[in-house]
């Protein structure tokens, strides 16, 4: 990988709040999984509701557990079923959500039905420890 290619990949970690919020829907969707993973916790929280909705399922699934935990309850509510294919979400990622974030997912009335038995058990265990 050339230095120029590396700079193109790593630019996201240097975006200011104004620059980040100024990204267009097309620019958001063109971020690679690697670039999404480079977003800091602060940058994750700076994403607008519209930008959260523009993330692809692949981008959302590439978020680290720490990044997932940084999503606000409002941001979690902006995620669609297509962005979070609950059935394929690893239990570890599901339990990385905070109780407030999980309540955001309950806005989808079919949320529990979409979970596997293992996911439900992990979620119940996680919530009972809170």
Rounded to whole angstroms, the maximal C-alpha distance in the chain is 49
* φ/ψ of residue 89, rounded to 5: -75, 125
Indicate the burial class of 105 (C-beta count within 10 angstroms; 0-12, 13-18, 19 or more): buried
- The fraction of the chain above a pLDDT of 70, given in percent, is 82
Query: For residue 92, is pLDDT > 80?
Result: no
- Number of neighbouring beta carbons within 10 Å of residue 69: 14
Give the start-to-end residue ranges of the domains of the chain.
Answer: 3-129
Chain segment 34-72, per-residue pLDDT in tens: 889 889 989 999 999 899 989 988 898 888 878 888 888
pLDDT of 1 over the 50 cut: no
What pLDDT, on the 0 to 100 scale, is given for residue 85? 62
- Nearest CA-CA partner of 53 in 77, 85, 23: 77
Residue pair 81/108 in contact by the 8 Å Cβ criterion? yes
pLDDT at residue 9 above 60? no
pTM above 0.85? no
């Amino acid at each position: 990988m050339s230095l120029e290619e590396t700079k193109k990949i790593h630019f996201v970690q240097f975006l200011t709040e104004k620059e980040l919020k100024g990204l267009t829907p097309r620019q958001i969707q063109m971020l690679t999984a690697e670039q999404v993973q480079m977003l800091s916790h602060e940058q994750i929280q700076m994403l607008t509701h519209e930008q959260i909705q523009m993330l692809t399922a692949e981008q959302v699934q590439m978020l680290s557990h720490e990044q997932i935990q940084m999503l606000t309850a409002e941001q979690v509510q902006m995620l669609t079923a297509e962005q979070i294919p609950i059935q394929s979400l690893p239990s570890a990622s599901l339990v990385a959500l905070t109780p407030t974030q999980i309540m955001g997912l309950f806005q989808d009335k079919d949320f529990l039905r979409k979970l596997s038995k293992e996911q439900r058990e992990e979620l119940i265990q996680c919530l009972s420890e809170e």
